[in-house]
A and B are shown apart, each in its own frame.
Chain A
Amino acid sequence: MPRRTDISSVLVIGSGPIVIGQACEFDYSGTQACRVLKEEGLRVILVNSNPATIMTDPEFADATYVEPITTEVLTTIIAKERPDALLATLGGQTALNAAIALDEAGVLAQYDVELIGANIAAIEKGEDRQQFKEVVEKCGGESARSEIIHTIDEAIAAADSLGYPMVVRPSFTMGGLGSGIAYDEQDLRRIVGQGLHYSPTTEVLLEESILGWKEYELELMRDTADNVVVVCSIENVDPVGVHTGDSVTVAPALTLTDREFQKLRDIGIAVIREVGVDTGGCNIQYAVHPDTGRIIVIEMNPRVSRSSALASKATGFPIAKIAAKLAVGYTLDEIPNDITQVTPASFEPTLDYVVVKVPRFAFEKFPAADPTLSTTMKSVGEAMAMGRNFTEALGKAMRSIDKAGSVFHWDGEPVSGEALDELLVEIARPTEGRLVATQQALRAGASLEQVFEATKIDPWFLDQIQLVNEVAESVASADALTRDVLLEAKRHGLSDPQIAKLRGMGAAGESTVREVRYALDVRPVYKTVDTCAAEFAAKTPYHYSSYDLESEVAPRERPAVLILGSGPNRIGQGIEFDYSCVHATLALKDEYETVMVNCNPETVSTDYDTSDRLYFEPLTFEDVLEVYQAELAAGPVAGIIVQLGGQTPLSLAQRLADAGLPILGTSPEAIDAAEDRGVFGRVLAEAGLPAPAFGTATSLAEAQEIAEGIGYPVLVRPSYVLGGRGMEIVYSAEQLTGYVERALHAAATDDRTTTGSLPAPLLIDRFLDDAMEIDVDALYDGTEMYLGGVMEHIEEAGIHSGDSACVLPPVSLSEAEIERIRRSTEAIAKGVGVRGLLNVQYALVSDVLYVLEANPRASRTVPFVSKATGVSLAKAAARVMVGETIADLRASGVLPAEGDGGTLDLDAPIAVKEAVLPFKRFRTTDGIVVDTVLGPEMRSTGEVMGFDRDFPRAFAKSQAAAFGGLPTKGSVFVSVADRDKRSIVFPIKRLTELGFEILATQGTAGVLRRNGIPATIVRKFSSGRGADGEPTIVDLITEGKVDMVINTPSGQGARADGYEIRAATTAADKPIVTTTQQLAAAVQGIEAVLAGPFDVWSLQEHMAATAERHAAADA
């Protein structure tokens, strides 16, 4: 059936901010969908609050709304745009839930909007546990025995029949939020309590434990003609009990016979039909008993999911793109397979390689959190790798994680005796490091049976790990590195650094191994992902390396530009960098052959459609160098871009340059100049720019001396980090000693450094209290600067810029101050030698503009600035890097003809960026949420943008988009540090005028009452319940009786105070304000919300209005 002709406009809902369980895979799928729908000639209306997405670039839709994804806002947009259809299956659970809410509110019926790609009944059948169980039974499958409960008492009763351990799963939550495994009644009460809260339907499913079973997933697609194909099978190396997002997974499934696999396929197809997924993708998860083969259907997602993105990248079959085509009426056999171009999409991809995905965690950011993996997803990103066998793919995937301790090693003596027994106990508990620990246990001589008993990892995988150990042993014991030894090592995924370590070759070992390899002609070849195991010729150069015979890289004539991506998402390095990389490829495609190198399957950059060539490879020196060599053999290479993908590619810059690779843009020396405090200090001194007093220490003694000199408090951090990793505000010598000792300890376990010294020098800065922090993104071509944007932070300095809300254009800076910022930024750009992007952070204190730091690379804020000002900084940067000037770019229209981000007119819209934090996911071993106070170490996973004509409205929108919005009535609890007591008087007074009831602890209440503000005193948590059971503030929050909490921690030690209050507030999902600046913004925002529903404008409307204003100004 060809495309439906009764639809001419479609509303697409994106997935909002990046959160754990819902990351940039939905930008990938949404971008594909928007592209397809536009190609089909449909008017595309897009809503997504996340500015760091490619899909919200104005060219991907006809009307792009960077607005909160709330029923109210969506209704306004629908009323304004009157779309014919709504496509909500490509924006994750957020979009699906938004569609259900619109349907329930009658909005879809009222405006005659057809939900395409899924129907409400199918969504409910797929997601409602009880209904789904019935579906599975009807389809000849089995579900785990289970009961649905709505209260804790029902849960306790259910335990009698189901027994412990028991799996707890709340209905309608994403990424397994709120689910867990209860081993006893105490666990059960706690997990069910949370689960009931998270479930929008206050419903929780309890089920028999299938822990330790083999876990599989199938990705299916169905079209309107009822054709169904299985795009990919995925096997979890970690058995049931670990969320699939946190598991090491493999595609295709490797330990099933055809009969068993076909059973899964038959059940899957029956289920997708019975659920009634009309068109599009769907993911079904199964458990298979390792001894009997009994199959249990765990769950399904009637939409494109994280696994679909993985399956798309793993197979070359673009699920989201096809889903969008199916949604508008095509059938699978009418859609060509992009890769072969001659065969249709109505087939099942077959792989002649193995794909391994490894998750990346961020427990180091949440030291208090329990690191045990469970059915609640906790990883923040993932890396994928392909190889011609499992061991090759696994080795590449593990090194793609780009984190100390994430690869197999053979350091020191293997453990033995009691230590081995302990290790076997340790690996029974799934954690981030389990695979490496498993390898160590096998290395230490544990039998496959023992390790299987402990981990329940299939013996085939364990044998493969054992194989890697054997290969490593042969590398270590060989008389010399012969061709055979090297080839065998490479075929099983060992990197040059691993081989060097096995040979005891020391620091320069990696290059020696490479030289030997080259001399013996042991080089990788590049194979192609072609969906069909070479049955048909592939037209798409989507490559992965392997140590095999034949390479498939095609020769080319146009010069290539290699762009290094950012690797797995992590806190501090996520979608924002992928955004810049994608822009670079878009900007350069016309003149160059763009070659993307990346290993993150969630991203737009790793879509085979994005660049001219794609290498799905780890971002290590070795792997990047080999790609470069392969491309150099294929044709001329103009250069390599390292400054857009964040710290990962940037940290390779110097070595790549030393190896003779042409680095485009800012030179590695200049990058070093900005990082090296000594050099950078001279740059600032020459330009006459003040910086907070600072020093660089390589030992504890040095650190103490410097800190004494500067005076406490000081800000301490290792150099060369992103996202404020390890950054702390240190108030005393004692605290400093603790910090340095921890850093030394971390260095000892870091396999990339030699032990005994700090891995990188410590930077110690004077901490500026009460400063206004300013972030600047700029572009410099060597002579001229383009000021991209000036962002004023809402929180004071000391909170990581990634976690801080900010506003652009700055609402409280004068023109003179912006001019000062411009001059300073230009001086730095010139002094450092920037060619491309530069990000500078300033602190304004008592009229002194301090330079906090400068980074000569794309920053996290580039997409936000680009979206807020309507100018693509990353595109411009890419062109500057290949030699164009800002004048050229102004002439060609890439940059505006006049003015820049520092000269926005007074009517320019205001954009507020708000961070989204993952605290709710992380619990201590006691099950309490980790502390939520913000600090110099970044912990947010994503961001939203509120865009409106003034600050209060933009701020209110940002809050609505980030976490559901500010309260408009009810009670507010206030407890602030002494130094903040004066500044809260006015905003709190305003809150009472707006009708809020104020609750406060005794001290704060006293201040408020003396200022004439009525405040009810509530019991402190530490006082416990009163004699007559009077609740403490924590009880009130937990019971949902508090609508907003204002709690500013202060100074040393006191930061820990109020932990229970903050944790309870986060757990109760209520807004929490931890700085007085936030309070002022919140009060303004509340007033804006009370003033009436939000107005909405598309980015295209904003841009048209700006153009009109400029035309009027010129006239």
Chain B
Amino acid sequence: MSISTPSTDAQADDRTAVLVLEDGTTLTGLAYGARGTTFGEIVFNTGMTGYQETLTDPSYHRQIVVMTAPHIGNTGVNDEDAESTRIWVSGYVVRDPARRASNWRATRSLDEDLAAQGVVGISSIDTRALTRHLRELGTMRAGIFSGEDLRRGGHPRPTEELVELVRSAPAMTGADLAREVSTPEAYVVEPSGEHAGQEPVATVVAVDLGIKAMTPQRLAERGVRVHVVPSTTTIDQIVALAPDGVFFSNGPGDPGAATTEVELLRAVLDRGIPYFGICFGNQILGRALGYGTYKLGYGHRGINQPVLDRTTGKVEVTAHNHGFAVDAPRDGESVAPHDGGRYGRVVVSHIGLNDQVVEGLACLDRPAFSVQYHPEAAAGPHDAAYLFDRFLDLMRDSAGASGSATNAAPVTPSSESEI
């Protein structure tokens, strides 16, 4: 199938941008944001709201994001909704960027932000055709070229040359990226909202593998003090903070390459410290338990994904952003394969209803659980916010049940009445 734009003589126009995929597909559109060249893994996001959160989500590091919603930028950019301090996407593909931002909270326009942060984008292309192409062929490497980079010596650069450049860019499989997005310094998020200024109900160490600002906030508003720490933090450093629980965040890259993080988590599990992981944190739990992870054809990126919570039988509409998934037995209990079953029994607690992908793991003999999707939402629905409460319950029950860190007895999350 070919969806390439027929080449036009507008190639040399300064307004032009070209999107090139590694399979040779090229789409000509208008330059958006910064001019220049960018490479990345091209993925599509189906959310109709939340472009500011998406752009600032570190999990999109080194990805070119295609928005399926045609109008982007309508509400501009504000000072509250960013999920980190910068835009992480390596490129941005939209159909109809707003000419004017309209929202009472907007402080600037989106293109201003994209240009200021050097994010190369492209607009006015058939994003639906591109999405269908990616759905059928899977995510792949891509590049966006605009401005001077489209020319060489006053002539348009030949397409073959651009395709070659894309093919020589690094691929996502095998990429270890947590270090690139993690906070350089640890910081603390104190209890907020109705808990502001009060003694924390629990202390959590959140390992930043690409954490979104909303995650510590969701814990903080439940009275938790959150130590957000760099991905390079050691188990001793974690234990020194005497946490009631440890949290691993979302983040970019291939979980298969996250060896250090897997080892760190095993050390946490060995100590019986209650654990909650989101997204990358779910994949790392999967690997720590000895399950495999694999790359999905085109991933889940959107805010409308139905997930079944098997403990309650209820469906939640959730925010997703993942290209990899855990390969664990979907039905019934299984014994975690790592080290001859050292971590005991595990169930797949959540399942994606669109394609039956594993969306959550719960250890039955260890105080640990994780989900593949985003209960912190931002962007997305708040249906899964209960998972933070579940984490609090787990920490509370674990503290009451053990008293020792040797976890002699199996620890079961209280709210998970097995079915």
Chain A residues in the interface with B (C-beta under 8 A): 225-227, 229-230, 233, 252-259, 261-262, 265-266, 290-293, 331-333, 342-344, 346-354, 388-390, 448, 458-460, 463, 467, 484, 527, 532-537, 548-550, 552
Contacts and interface: CB of A to CB of B under 8 A. Distances in A.
Nearest to A227: B315
Contacts of B377: 262
3 residue pairs, one from A and one from B, having the closest CB atoms: A258-B50, A549-B126, A550-B129
A353 B70 contact: yes
Contacts of A552: 132
11 contacts: A252-B69, A257-B78, A258-B379, A346-B315, A346-B353, A347-B306, A350-B46, A351-B48, A548-B126, A548-B128, A550-B129
Given A258-B50, A265-B381, A536-B354, A354 B102 contact: no
B74 A533 contact: no
B131 A293 contact: no
B378 interface: yes
B342 interface: no
B315 A352 contact: no
A342 B354 CA distance: 7
A261 B382 contact: no
A252 B81 CA distance: 20
A459 B102 contact: yes
If over half of A's interface residues share one DSSP class (helix, strand or loop), that class is named, otherwise mixed; here it is loop
B306 A460 contact: no
Contact of B129 (A225, A259, A351, A548): A548
Contacts of B49: 253, 256-258, 261-262
A416 to B, nearest CB: 24
Contacts of B74: 254-255, 460
A99 to B, nearest CB: 29
Nearest to B313: A225
Contacts of A293: 104-105
A256 B306 CA distance: 23
A229 B303 CA distance: 12
B47 A463 contact: no
Interface residues of B, number: 58
B53 interface: yes
A353 B353 CA distance: 24
Contacts of B355: 342-343
Contacts of A253: 49
B398 interface: no
Interface in B253-305: 302-305
Contacts of B394: none
Interface stretch (B93-101, B164-172, B230-238, B399-407): B93-101
Contacts of B103: 255-257
Interface hub of A233, A259, A291, A527 (most chain B Cβ within 10 A)? A259
B5 interface: yes
B128 A527 contact: yes
A822 B49 CA distance: 63
Contacts of B100: 448, 459-460, 463
A491 to B, nearest CB: 8
B126 A350 contact: no
B380 A257 contact: no
Given A257-B50, A257-B52, A349 B70 contact: no
Interface in B287-338: 302-306, 308, 313-315, 317
Contacts of B125: 549
A459 to B, nearest CB: 5
Contacts of A548: 126, 128-129
A550 B126 contact: yes
B75 interface: yes
A343 B354 contact: yes
Contact of B98 (A227, A261, A353, A460): A460
Contacts of A265: 381-382
Nearest to A492: B96
A354 B71 CA distance: 9
A550 B68 CA distance: 15
A348 B100 CA distance: 28
Given A257-B52, A257-B103, A346-B306, A352 B353 contact: no
A390 B71 contact: yes
B26 to A, nearest CB: 12
Contact of A388 (B128, B135, B313, B315): B128
B239 interface: no
B21 to A, nearest CB: 14
Contacts of B50: 257-258
Given A252-B48, A257-B49, A333-B306, 20 more contacts: A233-B48, A255-B74, A257-B50, A261-B49, A262-B49, A262-B382, A331-B315, A346-B353, A347-B305, A347-B306, A349-B304, A350-B47, A350-B302, A353-B70, A388-B128, A389-B70, A389-B95, A390-B71, A459-B100, A550-B128
Contacts of B303: 258, 348, 350
Residue with the highest number of chain A CB atoms closer than 10 Å, among B5, B315, B380:
B315
Contacts of A458: 102
A535 B129 contact: no
A226 to B, nearest CB: 7
B3 interface: yes
A224 to B, nearest CB: 11
B87 to A, nearest CB: 16
B127 interface: yes
A258 B46 contact: no
A389 B71 contact: yes
A349 B304 CA distance: 7
Contact of B306 (A344, A448, A534): A344
B328 to A, nearest CB: 21
B68 A254 contact: no
Residue from B44, B102, B378 whose CB has the most chain A CB atoms within 10 Å:
B102
B314 A227 contact: yes
Contacts of B52: 257-258
Contacts of B46: 350, 352, 532-533, 535
B71 A347 contact: no
A661 to B, nearest CB: 28
| Residue from A233, A346, A534 whose CB has the most chain B CB atoms within 10 Å | A534
A348 B318 CA distance: 10
A467 B99 contact: yes
A333 B128 contact: no
B59 to A, nearest CB: 16
A258 B69 CA distance: 13
B353 A257 contact: no
Interface in B362-419: 377-382
A484 B354 CA distance: 40
Contacts of A259: 80-81, 378
Given A262-B381, A343-B353, A388-B95, A348 B104 contact: no
B96 A258 contact: no
A444 B303 CA distance: 42
B314 A225 contact: yes
Contact of A255 (B102, B306, B315, B379): B102
A523 B78 CA distance: 39
B146 to A, nearest CB: 18
Nearest to B98: A460
Given A256-B49, A257-B52, A292 B353 contact: no
Given A344-B306, A352-B127, A535-B135, A262 B104 contact: no
B126 A347 contact: no
A331 B103 CA distance: 37
A255 B75 CA distance: 6
Contacts of A261: 49
Interface in B63-122: 68-71, 74-75, 78, 80-81, 95-96, 98-105
Contacts of A549: 3, 5, 27, 125-126, 129
A121 B288 CA distance: 52
A474 to B, nearest CB: 14
Given A265-B381, A348-B381, A533 B69 contact: yes
Contacts of B305: 347
A354 B69 CA distance: 9
Nearest to A532: B46
